[in-house]
Structure 1
Amino acid sequence: MNAYLHRSENRGHVKAGWLNTYHSFSFGSWYNPKYMGFGPLRVINDDTIAANNGFGTHPHDNMEILTYVTDGRLTHRDSMGNEEYIHAGEWQLMSAGTGVAHSEINNTDEAVHLFQIWIQPNIRDAEPTYQQIKLNPHDEPNKWHLIVGPNDNAPMFIRQNAEVKAAVLEEGKTLDIATTQKHNYVHVVKGQIMIENQIVKAGDALLFDEKTSIKALEDSEMIWFDLPA
């Protein structure tokens, strides 16, 4: 099996007042030519937004933008007319298509922790769409939960031949990864796991190309990206 470990300490780290963020791939003011994405996966930002702050209205186009809130509550507004709360354990997929402007604000008195993920679409200039689900992997541990996929059996539809799954794995438990495509990327949200005799801790990710299995060295949470080449 070909595998590569992307260590947490090799991520970009930007702390700018209200925002404390770690970039798995080059983003904004942080640039590293070694980390420009993986297949169509372009961004994984691990963001903590301070109380009563956030991202003001700004535009995007031709990007599939997936947001996962792990702690707190975020308020989303966009030019499609959506105004929604995203609570801990909820996921939002905004397909920017021909263009959409949006804001993500923490209008509470507590910090919000979230992951913002960008995946490049395989269809350009489509009509923008908005989807949101509650699917907290903590509610049913020790199994993969499909979050987004390219067809109608997925909870949310993405404009790419890709699947995103999430799991919470209890200490000592194992979980198989049955790869279907060339590029696979598992990002550890919390805890510590072992894949192919490599210890992968929170903030780390493993890139690989064959079926494998995970063992939790402690209670852990992870996101798996099953991606085309």
Structure 2
Amino acid sequence: MLTVRKSRERGYADHGWLRSYHSFSFADYHDPRYMGFGNLRVINEDRIAPGTGFGAHGHRDMEIVSYVLEGELAHKDSLGNEQSIVPGEVQRMSAGTGVVHSEHNPAQGRSTHFLQIWLLPSRQGMAPGYAQKAFGDAQKRGRLCLVGSPEGREGSVQLNADARLYAGLFDGAEQAVMVLPEGRKTYVHLVRGSLQVNGQRLEGGDAAMIEQETQLQLDAGKEAEVLVFDLAP
């Protein structure tokens, strides 16, 4: 079964300095039909205005992944990490027993466009942690590149969650087929462009929620960038 969620159906918030689309219920946006999918709890598509950002605030018991699309995201946390995240990089912050962090756009002339992703951790009360890795376009071109996994396989960022995250770039005749594990859920988020997912056409910001299917086929892309989540049920 494949269910398409159109980009226009997402929640939206405009705070002036921040414009954000919410794939699932978040902050003032609440829809009981979309509280998460499997152990995927949040996908926010955020645009931060130049010279602004999120002040210091706390989290606990959540795996938080940042995927930057344009611009730069400056990160600072109570663990002593102070990093810049740019396109092609995947950052994971394990909130665990508690962490305080801030994120802002240090540029004066352009916005920062990124995805903020929350996954429920495998267990609560873990020690907080941080990881960040770069994945070049060549690694994602015409294929699904593993960028996050519990085991840190294939050079991916290690996740403290029962989830695997893949990223891919598809255009023209490029295609990928993935066998889907039985009993799990698959979430496809089209970051931008257009792409056919198991015969269904998605446009930028659209998503496909997949259950009880044996394979995933991605093809007929037009400047497409996509994230695929293999999730605990």
Question: Considering the TM-score relative to the shorter chain, is it more than 0.5?
Answer: yes
Which stretches of structure 1, 4 residues or more, deviate above 3 A after TM superposition?
Answer: 136-140
Take 1:179 and 1:57, find their aligned partners in 2: how far apart are those partners? 39
CA contact (8 A) 2:143 2:175 kept: no
1:25 counterpart residue number: 24
2:142 counterpart residue number: 142
SS at structure 2 position matched to 1:52: coil
1:190 counterpart residue number: 192
CA deviation string 1:59-88 (max 9, x = no partner): 000000000111111110000000011112
SS at structure 2 position matched to 1:35: coil
Take 1:48 and 1:119, find their aligned partners in 2: how far apart are those partners? 21
Instruction: Describe how 1:59-208 pairs up with structure 2 within 5 A.
Output: 59-109=58-108, 110-137=110-137, 140-153=140-153, 154-181=155-182, 182-208=184-210
Q: State the 1:140 CA deviation.
A: 4.2
For the aligned residues, what is the CA RMSD? 1.3
SS at structure 1 position matched to 2:172: coil
2:52 counterpart residue number: 53
1:228 counterpart residue number: 232
CA deviation string 1:77-135 (max 9, x = no partner): 00000001111211100000000000001111111100000000111110000000111
Q: TM-score normalized by structure 2?
A: 0.94
Take 2:220 and 2:199, find their aligned partners in 1: how far apart are those partners? 12
Take 1:140 and 1:223, find their aligned partners in 2: how far apart are those partners? 10
Q: Which moved more, 1:212-221 or 1:12-21?
A: 212-221
Take 1:170 and 1:137, find their aligned partners in 2: how far apart are those partners? 13
User: How many aligned residue pairs are there?
Assistant: 228
CA deviation string 1:208-227 (max 9, x = no partner): 13212111341200000000
Given the superposition, is the C-alpha separation of residues 222 and 75 from structure 1 closer, same or farther in structure 2, using an over 3 Å criterion? same
Take 1:33 and 1:149, find their aligned partners in 2: how far apart are those partners? 28
CA contact (8 A) 1:191 1:218 kept: yes
CA contact (8 A) 1:172 1:218 kept: no
Take 1:125 and 1:212, find their aligned partners in 2: how far apart are those partners? 34
Q: State the 1:138 CA deviation.
A: 5.7
Q: Which moved more, 1:169-178 or 1:51-60?
A: 169-178
1:212 counterpart residue number: 216
The residue type equivalent to 1:62 in the other structure is D
Take 2:94 and 2:229, find their aligned partners in 1: how far apart are those partners? 17
Take 1:9 and 1:152, find their aligned partners in 2: how far apart are those partners? 34
Identical pairs, percent: 38
Take 2:25 and 2:136, find their aligned partners in 1: how far apart are those partners? 28
